[in-house]
A and B are shown apart, each in its own frame.
Chain A
Amino acid sequence: MLPPSVRHLPLALLAGLLLGQTQAATFKWSSASDIPTLDIHSQNNALGNGIHAAIYDSLTYYNSKTFKVEPRLASSWKDLSPTQVRFTLRSGVKFSDGSDLTAEDVVFSLQRAMAKTSNFQVYTQGFKSINKVDARTVDIVLSGPNPVLLNQLTELRIMSKAWAEKNKSVEPKDGRTKDETFAHRNAMGSGPYMVKEWQPDQKLVLVRNPHWWGAKDALTNVTDIVYTPIKNEATRAAALLSGEVDFVLDPSPQDLPRMRNSTNLKVIDGVENRTIFLGLDQYRDELPGSNIKGKNPLKDVRVRKALYQAIDIDAIHKVTMRGLSQNTGALVAPQVTGWTEGVHKRFPYSQDEARKLLTEAGYPQGFEVDFACPNNRYINDEEICQAITAMWAKVGIKAKLRTLPLVTYFPMIQRYEASIGMLGWGVPTFDALYSLQSLTRTVGTGGDGNYNIGRYSNPRMDYLVDRIKTETDLLVRNRMLTEGLQLQNDTVAHIPLHNQVIPWAMKKNIDVVHRADNRLDWALIKVN
């Protein structure tokens, strides 16, 4: 008796011949929530941005494998001066209604992203003006040298000026706009797909854009994409197991062993560009809820280091995360510019070392401290914090753990109420400045220290961050990024834990490329 796979081989071959390799296919997929809007400049939402990229193009985009910036709608660019960059548009690009994409549309869209009601101003920081040179050339004028311009452009998508004007959607809508605009429920772009139907929270159906400029080189054989959000994770898993969907972006950890063992499913793990770490209050003079009065033990670098070295990160990796994490000593993931092997190295786990440091700092008996964590934001967030609480208890630190749902947790840490708090930080620009500026720069304006929940402040760090913002010599800049990351490590500004590993679950016949920003590359999906 032959094994089943061999017995069916002739049949499979025949089917393969009949169907051919470029058989048109439908790709059905699911994750927990729906996109908030189809308006590309309205809400900066990770899932939404990823799906918008199927319908709209940006001037540049990250290569799915190398994560280097590559040309998209812009075919080339050059610096006319440190503050003026000239972009040449790809020729022959049409919107899905058949009209040509011109410099007018690019100027309109970038200005739309800069509008007051836009949620994408974070990506237009430093833009002064956008000028049309001719039908295929656009200049971006900057208020100062901007080394991450090309990265910012990856999230700024281009819509048709004529379409937006015709449908009264010139301004992006926000929470203040009365009722919805046309661009909220409809879309028309130059990307590989166009919207056939969107019923919020039910399904989003995309079909191939007949005018897509990239069609001739595309690997994908998918003609229709059906996205159905399924909130309940058990139901989502059931939909994949029963074959109703082909792909699940966010399978729950407890379903993974079953999916890995299933004969017709596979799971691809990829390191996400998101680092989980603990922030430590280094600002207040006394910590509420602590038994140490009149001073803040966390201001002492030896105490912070003791907390760090008391964490058995391997145990968290193996037990809590079931192997789905990448331990790190750095504040950013390996794909991010500025990361090196050097900054990735952790202080070793050692209870003795931790006790010694605490004794040196004057706390041989340890102390009590408040410790806050979200319980529905990161993978196993609550469990990680419980494990850390137990590890700290072994060296005398009595952490009083409280876990909160994300809707109350984030406002709370932004009011600096947590003595120690957990945070995860993704880097959409793939550049360490994004993390250093938000997390380690002294709290200020314009995004400086906006998530520096421990209010860490170091003059050298501030100097580095401010220099990096405008330094255009890439070598010097990269060296400063690494120095900043190293300085964060040396001063234990935060305690890095791990980079999240994101598993994707799908049927065996689906080929996708796992991107570190946890989104699909629409041109690379194959249904075999």
Chain B
Amino acid sequence: MLAFILQRLIQAMVVMVTVAFIAFLLFQYVGDPVVFLLGQDATQEQIDQLRADLGLNHPFFVQFWHFLVNAVQGEFGLSLRQGAKVSRLIAERFPATLELALVAAGLALVIGIPMGVYAALRRGSFMSQLFMTLSLLGVSLPTFLIGILLILVFAVGLGWFPSFGRGTVVQIGWWTSSLLTLKGWHHIVLPAITLAIFQLTLIMRLVRAEMLEVLRTDYIKFARARGLSNRAIHFGHALKNTLVPVMTITGLQLGGLIAFAIITETVFQWPGMGLLFIQAVTFADIPVMAAYLCLIALIFVVINLVVDLLYFAVDPRLRLGKSGGH
């Protein structure tokens, strides 16, 4: 067990350092932040001075080493654009992104699972065909298009929902939440739907396929032979067994939701980390970009690690294999 965890942790470290290195390498080509800091009227002396002060004229590996040492301590320096600590900026933006991702994941589960179950049980019916066709649309339409369409219909056309922003937020310690006010929920509806649609269709198709698979197995046949009600068979036996892979996928996809919120956040001016990242790109704000990429990598790595450990706990075959007891 310990060896397994250690092995996983070392793998995770390698992944993190690699991501940090690639991120840092990419940023060498993004552009020169000094010109933006000083504006178009700066003299050459001012530019050279600032470059020296920011440590931008050290060799590449020296800069990378400084970056790594600080990053391990959670310190990514100062945002070049906003002049505030990057760790503070990210901490300010993280709640917005996480709340959006969680609401979207919740939506995807609450709507996706029943739709999948329905499509599996009533295979071939008109509604199931409709769900399948719609899910194809959901998978193939790009997020920004869905977002803009929702804004056009529900914000501009019908005026039901606001088109941008997070509404009223409540401060709880360092965490800001928009889920405690009615206005906040009003604001989250459109972005959450936009972000959820891809996951929703994915979950629906997954549930349907798994469900069909499970319904063909022997124990369902025996359950039927025992005369159990359809309801008990479908929801008590079949759905329960379907949900194991669904939970795994949902867990893994949560990282994806947080990472891919970039586009949704840009469309709805949602003040999360993705928006921060996009604005950082426009201004070549290297510390913010680097911190964001590392954080996203960390989220993925942690989620993967947790899923691996859960497997270890859930699946006895893994334990047997590792302990060499055959």
Does A239 touch B at the CB level, under 8 Å?
Answer: yes
B83 A242 Cβ-Cβ under 8 A: no
Is A232 positioned at the interface, with any CB of B under 8 Å from its CB?
A: yes
In the bound complex, residues from chain A placing their C-beta under 8 Å from that of B37 are 43, 174-175
User: Residue-by-residue, is B40-82 near A (CB-CB < 8 Å gives 1, otherwise 0)?
Assistant: 1111110000100110000000000000000000000010111
Q: Flag A429-470 by CB within 8 Å of B: 1 or 0 each.
A: 000000000100000011100110000000000000000000
- Please tell me if the beta carbons of A445 and B43 are within 8 angstroms of each other in the complex: yes
A137 at the interface (CB under 8 A from B): no
Choose one: A33, A179, A407; the contact of B284 (CB below 8 Å). A407
With a CB–CB cut-off of 8 A, which chain B residues contact A238? 148, 151-152, 155-156, 163-164
**Contact residues of B between 153 and 209, Cβ < 8 Å to A:** 155-156, 159, 162-166
Q: Which of B276-297 contact A (CB under 8 A)?
A: 276, 278-279, 282-284
Give the Cβ gap from A104 to chain B, nearest Cβ, in Å.
27
Q: Determine chain A's interface SS by DSSP, over half rule.
A: loop
Shortest distance from the beta carbon of A326 to any chain B beta carbon, whole Å: 22
Q: Inside 8 A of B268's CB, which chain A residues have their CB? A: 235
Complex contact A414–B35 (CB within 8 A): yes
Q: Are A201 and B279 in contact (CB under 8 A)?
A: yes
Report chain B residues within 8 Å CB of A445: 43-45
Name A102-138 residues within 8 Å CB distance of B. Answer: 119, 122
Contact of A242 among B41, B163, B276 (CB under 8 A): B163
**Distance, CA A180 to CA B82, complexed state (A):** 9
Contact of A231 among B44, B155, B275 (CB under 8 A): B275
* Residues of chain A in range 195-229 having any CB-CB distance to chain B below 8 Å: 199-203, 228-229
- Decide: B266 and A231 in contact? CB cutoff 8 A: yes
Q: Given A176-B54, A179-B78, A238-B155, A230–B35 Cβ distance below 8 Å?
A: no
Closest to B45 in A: A445
A517 and B298 alpha carbons, distance in the complex (Å): 45
Bound Cα distance from A273 to B318, whole angstroms: 71
Most chain B CB within a 10 A radius of its CB, from A36, A119, A202, A234: A202
Chain A, Cβ-Cβ closest to B283: A407
Assess the A179–B84 pair: CB atoms within 8 A: yes
**Counting CB contacts under 8 A, is A254 at the interface?**
no
B36 part of interface (Cβ distance < 8 Å):
yes
Q: Does B39 have its Cβ within 8 Å of any Cβ on chain A?
A: yes
Q: With A201-B275, A229-B269 in contact, do A179 and B31 touch (Cβ < 8 Å)?
A: no
Chain A residues, CB < 8 A from B39: 43-45, 119, 122
CB distance from B270 to the nearest CB of A (A): 10
Pick from B35, B43, B275, B276: contact of A411, CB below 8 A: B35
What is the bound-complex CA distance between A230 and B148, given in angstroms? 14
A96: interface (CB < 8 Å): no
Partner of B78, one of A175, A200, A244: A175
- Could you say which residues of chain B place their CB within 8 Å of the CB of A44? 39, 41
Chain B proximity of A118: nearest CB distance (Å): 11
Interface residue total, chain A, C-beta cutoff 8 A: 49
Asked if B279 and A242 sit within 8 Å, CB to CB, the answer is no
**Which residues of chain B come closer than 8 Å to A178, judged between CB atoms?**
78
Cβ distance A263 to chain B, nearest Cβ, rounded Å: 14
A184 at the interface (CB under 8 A from B): yes
With both chains docked as a complex, state the minimum distance between the C-beta of A276 and any C-beta of chain B, in angstroms. Answer: 15
Given contacts A201-B279, A445-B43, contact A411 B164 (CB under 8 A): no
Bound-complex Cα distance A122 to B44 (A): 13
Closest to B157 in A: A242
Task: Check A235 against B269 for contact (C-beta < 8 Å).
Answer: yes
Q: A19-37, CB under 8 A of B: which get 1 and which 0?
A: 0000000000000010011
CA distance A96 to B25 in the complex (A): 48
Q: Does A405 contact B (CB under 8 A)?
A: yes
Residues in B whose Cβ lies below 8 Å from that of A161: none
B30 touches A36 (CB 8 A): no
Question: Are A228's CB and B41's CB within 8 A?
Answer: no
CA separation between A232 and B155, bound complex, in Å?
Answer: 15
Pick from A202, A234, A411: contact of B166, CB under 8 Å: A202
**In the bound complex, CA of A204 to CA of B120 (Å):** 51
Query: Which residues of B lie under 8 Å from residue A202 when comparing CB positions?
Result: 165-166, 271
The answer to whether A235 touches B151 (Cβ under 8 A) is yes
Q: Which residue of B lies closest to A411 (CB)?
A: B32
Interface residue B85 (Cβ < 8 Å from any Cβ of A): yes
Chain B residues, CB < 8 A from A203: 165
Determine if B35 and A410 form an interchain contact, defined as CB atoms under 8 angstroms apart. Answer: yes
What's the minimum C-beta distance from B195 to chain A, rounded to whole angstroms?
15
Query: Is A173 located at the chain interface by the 8 A CB criterion?
Result: yes
The verdict on B267 contacting chain A, using a C-beta distance below 8 Å, is: yes
Contacts of A242 in B (CB 8 A): 155-156, 159, 162-163
Chain B nearest CB, measured from A51 CB (Å): 15
Smallest CB gap from A241: residue in B: B156
Instruction: Tell me the nearest residue of chain B to A434, going by C-beta.
Output: B41
Q: Which of these, A175, A180, A184, A229, contacts B54 with CB under 8 Å? A: A175
In the complex the two chains form, what is the Cα distance from A402 to B37 in whole Å? Answer: 25
Contact B36 A407 (CB under 8 A): yes
With most chain A CB atoms within 10 A of its CB, the pick from B29, B45, B282 is B282
Given known A-B contacts A235-B267, A238-B152, A408-B30, A36 and B83 have beta carbons under 8 A apart: yes
A177 within 8 A of B: yes
Distance, CA A174 to CA B39, complexed state (A): 12
Chain B residues contacting A119 (CB-CB under 8 Å) are 38-39
The residues of A that contact B32 with a CB separation of less than 8 Å are 407-408, 410-411
A434 to chain B, nearest CB (A): 9
Across the interface, do A173 and B83 meet the contact criterion of CB distance under 8 Å? yes
Complex CA gap A229/B269 in Å reads 8
Partner pick for A239 among B35, B54, B163, CB 8 A cutoff: B163
* A235:B164 contact, CB within 8 angstroms: yes
The answer, yes or no, to whether A42 is at the interface (CB within 8 Å) is yes
Give Cα distance in the complex from A238 to B164, angstroms. 9
Select one of B269, B271, B279 contacting A199, CB under 8 A: B271
Known contacts A119-B39, A201-B279; decide if A175 and B152 are in contact (CB<8 Å): no
B31: chain A residues at CB < 8 Å are 405-408, 411
Given the complex, which residues of B lie within 8 Å of A235, measured CB to CB?
148, 151, 163-164, 267-269
Could you jot down 21 A-B contacts, CB within 8 Å?
Answer: A44-B39, A119-B38, A122-B39, A174-B50, A176-B53, A179-B84, A201-B271, A201-B276, A203-B165, A228-B165, A232-B267, A235-B268, A238-B156, A238-B163, A239-B163, A242-B156, A244-B155, A410-B40, A411-B32, A446-B43, A447-B43
Going nearest first, the 7 A-B pairs with the smallest beta carbon separation are A407-B31, A411-B32, A122-B41, A407-B284, A44-B39, A238-B163, A408-B31
B residues at A contact (CB < 8 Å): 29-33, 35-45, 50, 53-54, 78, 80-85, 148, 151-152, 155-156, 159, 162-166, 266-269, 271, 275-276, 278-279, 282-284
Interface residues of A (CB under 8 A from B): 33, 36-37, 42-45, 119, 122, 173-180, 184, 199-203, 228-232, 234-235, 238-239, 241-244, 405-408, 410-411, 414, 438, 445-447, 450-451
Extra inter-chain contacts (20) besides given A36-B83, A179-B85, CB under 8 Å: A36-B82, A43-B37, A44-B39, A174-B83, A175-B50, A203-B165, A228-B269, A231-B269, A232-B269, A235-B267, A238-B148, A238-B151, A238-B155, A239-B163, A407-B31, A407-B32, A407-B33, A408-B31, A410-B40, A447-B43
